[in-house]
Amino acid sequence: MSQLEDMRIFAETVDAQSFTAAAERLGLSKQFVSKRIAALETRLGARLLLRSTRRLRVTDLGLAYHERAQRILQDVDAAEQLITSQTAAPRGLLRLSAPMTFATLHLGPLIPLFMQRHPEVSVELELNDRTVDLIGEGYDMAVRIGTLADSSLIARRITTVQLITCASPEYLRKHGTPAKPEQLSTHACLIYGHARHGEWSFRVGERARKVSVSGPLRANNGEMLRDAALTGLGIINLPDFIVAAALADGRLVPVLDAFQPEGFTVHAVYPQHRQASLLVRSFSDFLVEQFRSADA
């Protein structure tokens, strides 16, 4: 085994916090992984990992070695990707994270199309509304809606979505229609997320203004909130792609239209060390192309 391969095995073991998990990721046996790390420690003359039956701990020297090893491995991968991107078609595994409903409605039809264009590509898709740690959790790319908190990531604009405040005709008949955002304080609002009170943003004059709302139901799934609103339970403030069909057939009615703020941008984001990847670049190009034609 080369020094570089031993370095890769060690880095994977530290990231996975387990010999077994690292072996599964690398397609090797647990015994082989343990043997190669022992050989690495012997060659370096230093203890990098502290082993016990309950957990795996990294020594201070191991942490320093891991940090440098990651940079070296990323540079090696980038160098290889730079060459193969000029001579080869996209291939390999793309690990992708995306919001559940957006992915179901929009990425569901697109991913098979991309894979048909590039038969040597496979995709591992995680549908989750949480913000994943791309580097720490090993994702190649994520689709994110709204403000990007991590400026170290490379972001490509895909499209925009508009938040729409709406309710069922039955709810509005019973409780009245709010004429301005402040009146939401007297209404049952169905809140995305887990906070007891939510904040919805509206445009008042030239400024955006946040309004505190509360209500009988909170959930981290927009489709569930939409279905609850359809029963007359309360008012929702959700992306257009979740409520569009119900608005089109009158099951939901928009309110406070004049106060709706600008829409949110949808980005494809990926770590800087993945920008040389032909697979990542090809998929982000594909998304931009598909949504541009849909928006036209």
Question: pLDDT digit string (tens) for 239-253?
Answer: 998 999 999 999 999
Closest CA to 170 of 228, 84, 210, 241: 228
Please tell me which residue, 133 or 69, carries the higher pLDDT value: 69
Cα gap 191→214, rounded to integer Å: 7
CA-wise closest residue to 99 among 159, 21, 25: 159
Percent of the chain with pLDDT over 90: 43
Strand partners, 19: none
55 pLDDT tier (thresholds 50, 70, 90): confident
**Residue 32: Cβ-neighbour burial (10 angstroms; 0-12, 13-18, 19+):** middle
CA 63 vs CA 10, 71, 191: distances in Å:
11, 13, 42
What letter represents residue 175's amino acid? H
Q: Which amino acid is at 11?
A: A
Asked if 92 and 124 count as a contact pair (C-beta separation under 8 A), the reply is: no
- Between 177 and 261, residue with greater pLDDT: 177
**Under a CB-based contact definition with an 8 Å cutoff, are residues 208 and 201 in contact?**
yes
Fold designation for 89-157+265-295: D-Maltodextrin-Binding Protein; domain 2 (3.40.190)
Contact 1, 7 (CB under 8 A): no
| pLDDT tens-digit readout, 98-135 | 988 888 888 988 999 999 999 999 999 998 878 888 87
pLDDT of residue 87: 54
Using the predicted structure, report yes or no on whether residue 207 has a pLDDT greater than 90: no
Sign of CA dihedral 67, 69, 70, 76: positive
pLDDT at 236: 96
Architecture in CATH of 3-86 = Orthogonal Bundle (1.10)
* Topology of the domain comprising 163-259: D-Maltodextrin-Binding Protein; domain 2 (3.40.190)
Query: What dihedral do alpha carbons 265, 161, 108, 251 form, nearest 10°?
Result: 160
CA atoms within 13 A on the CB side of 269: 23
Query: Residue 293: exposed, middle, or buried by beta-carbon count in 10 A (0-12, 13-18, 19+)?
Result: exposed
pLDDT beyond 60 at 296:
no
Structural domain boundaries in the chain:
3-86, 89-157+265-295, 163-259
pLDDT of residue 150: 62
Beta bridge partner(s), residue 50: 57
**Distance from C-alpha of 187 to C-alpha of 179, rounded to nearest angstrom:** 12
Within this chain, domains 89-157+265-295 and 163-259 share the same CATH topology: yes
Q: In the numeric block, which tokens belong to residue 49?
A: 């990992």
pTM of the model: 0.63
Query: Where residue 196 falls among pLDDT bands split at 50, 70, 90?
Result: low
